[in-house]
Amino acid sequence: MTEAKITARNVDVFYGPKKAINDVSIDIGNGIVTAFIGPSGCGKSTFLRTLNRMNDTIAGARVDGEILLDGEDIYDPAMDPVALRARVGMVFQKPNPFPKSIYENIAYGPRIHGLANAKADMDVVVERALTKAGLWDEVKDRLSDAGTALSGGQQQRLCIARAIAVSPEVILMDEPCSALDPIATARIEELIDELKESFAIVIVTHSMQQAARVSQKTAFFHLGSLVEYGETDQIFTNPRETRTKDYITGRYG
């Protein structure tokens, strides 16, 4: 079975005086996909952002409790948030390539983290990341074109390649398919399935079908609390909590 890659204990998140996450504890496994589901505003994205300290960038946001990555406290003052975000990468709802070439979109991270310096080494890193993201064949002859010139689905795969290029351990995905059509979505879902061999993946999704298709574990959030967490099959076929059952059967959402 899988071991915990991330352990969160008694996590609260506040925006100013407002509590958005209430006492969440969860173990997130390695080598699997974990889905966060729940109605709009229940705190899925807020909790996801605690896992690589993206909330640090939001004025007035405060995180209490403990989050460990391989046993190491990510909120320890000695932890460098930039180095942390290389270990725990993120892919956002809307594809957001840098206004640079396809090549530079990938090379930027490895360069600033000193992972590749010589051009030949960087070429290898770029090819490997694009291949892993299932994009190499489509872009290998146009690496100097702008990243923004790609289709939406290709842009999202570029953003996944960019996250992969710095060799992260965890990839956080915040509704990565919500701006994509069904074909591009299917490509990303296949990719997520392949990537889980190499990374711990956490995905926030509004689509219960997507959670059921791509994840092995599912966490159901409601009003800032983690209501139920378990094997995806169990959550969708035999939920223990009434609130989970009501949500997955479409009674509210």
Q: Which residues bind ligand ATP (CB under 6 A)?
A: 15, 20, 38, 40-46, 58, 206
Q: How many residues does the chain have?
A: 253
For residues 15 and 136, which CB has a smaller minimum distance to ligand ATP in the complex? 15
CB of 20 to ligand ATP, least distance (A): 4
Nearer to ligand ATP (CB atom), residue 40 or residue 117: 40
| Closer to ligand ATP by Cβ: residue 5 or 44 | 44
Distance CA 9, CA 67 (A): 6
Give the C-alpha separation, 172 to 22, whole Å: 20
Concatenated DSSP letters of 135-146: -HHHHTT-TTSB
Shortest distance in whole angstroms from residue 202 CB to ligand ATP = 13
Least distance in Å: CB of 48 to ligand ATP?
8
Residue 45 or 154 with smaller CB distance to ligand ATP: 45
CA-closest candidate to residue 9, choices 21, 34, 27, 32 = 27
Question: Minimum distance from CB of 59 to ligand ATP (Å)?
Answer: 8
Residue with smaller CB distance to ligand ATP, 45 or 167:
45
Q: Which residues pair with 4 in a beta bridge?
A: 29
Neighbours of 61 (CB within 10 A): 17
Residue with tokens 């994509």, as numbered in its chain: 180
Least Å distance between CB 60 and ligand ATP? 7
User: Whole-angstrom Cα distance, residue 148 to residue 131?
Assistant: 19
In the complex with ligand ATP, which residue's Cβ is closer, 20 or 129? Answer: 20
Burial 109-119 (b: 16+ CB within 10 A, else e): bbbeeebbeee
Residue 206 Cβ vs ligand ATP, minimum distance, rounded to whole Å: 6
Least distance in angstroms from the C-beta of 38 to ligand ATP: 6
CA nearest to 213, candidates 241, 185, 238, 174: 185
- In the chain the first and final C-alpha atoms are separated, in Å, by 32
Q: Which is nearer to ligand ATP, 43 or 239 (CB)?
A: 43
H helices of 10-118, in order, are 44-50, 81-87, 102-112
